[in-house]
Amino acid sequence: MNAKKALILSADAFEDSELLYPLYRLREAGFHVDVAAPTAGSITGKHGYAVEANLGVDAVESAGSCGYSLLVLPGGKAPAALRGIPKVIDIVNDFASSGIPMAAICHGPQILVTARLLHGRRATCYKTVADELREAGALYEDSPVVVDRNLVTSRVPGDLPDFMREVMKLVG
C-alpha cells in the first residue's frame, strides 16, 4: 500500500515551527511529504533552521495526478514571496478545485487570498493579516483553529497542536 502524500509550499524566511511541526507530524503518521520552494534546494527559516525543498514549484504536477491528500502553507515571510509566483497560485487553485484538504497558518492564508479562495469561507490567521482576509471576503474568526469544510487555518505557532489535530482528522 502506498503512503499518503502531502505537499508543503514554502520559501526562505518561513516560520520555523510552522513548517517543521507539520512536516514531522505528517511523517510520523506515515505520509510522504514533498517540500516545494521557488527552486529545489535548501530553504532557511526565520530562526535559522534549514529544510531541504525536494521540489521547485515548477516541478509540482497536478494534485490529483500526484496523489496528494493535503496541502500545507506555513507562515512567516515565505507566503509574501510565494504569492507573487503564478505557478504557486495555480497549485493552490488545483488543490482547491480537487477538494483536497488545505491547511494554512499565520501568514499562510495570504496565498489563499491571492488565489481568491477565501470569499465566504471561515478562516483565521496572524492578527496583522486579519484585515486582508476580511477584505478578501473571508469570515474572519480570532480562534486557535478554524475548520471550514476542507480548509484548516490557525494563527500562531502556539496554535500548532490544535491546527495539526484538525488537519489529521481531515486526512485520517
pLDDT at 69: 95
> Looking at domain 5-171, does it have CATH number 3.40.50.880?
yes
Q: At what angle do helices 160-171 and 16-28 cross, to 10 degrees?
A: 40
pLDDT at 66: 84
Sketch the domain layout of the chain as residue ranges.
5-171
- Specify whether 119 is catalytic: no
How far apart (Å, rounded) are the C-alpha atoms in residues 35 and 32? 10
pLDDT at 1: 46
Which set of grid coordinates corresponds to residue 103?
491547511
* Residues of the chain with confidence (pLDDT) below 70: 1-2
pLDDT at 91: 96
Regarding pTM above 0.75, the answer is yes
Query: Which spans in 15-136 are helix H?
Result: 16-28, 63-66, 78-82, 86-98, 109-114, 130-135
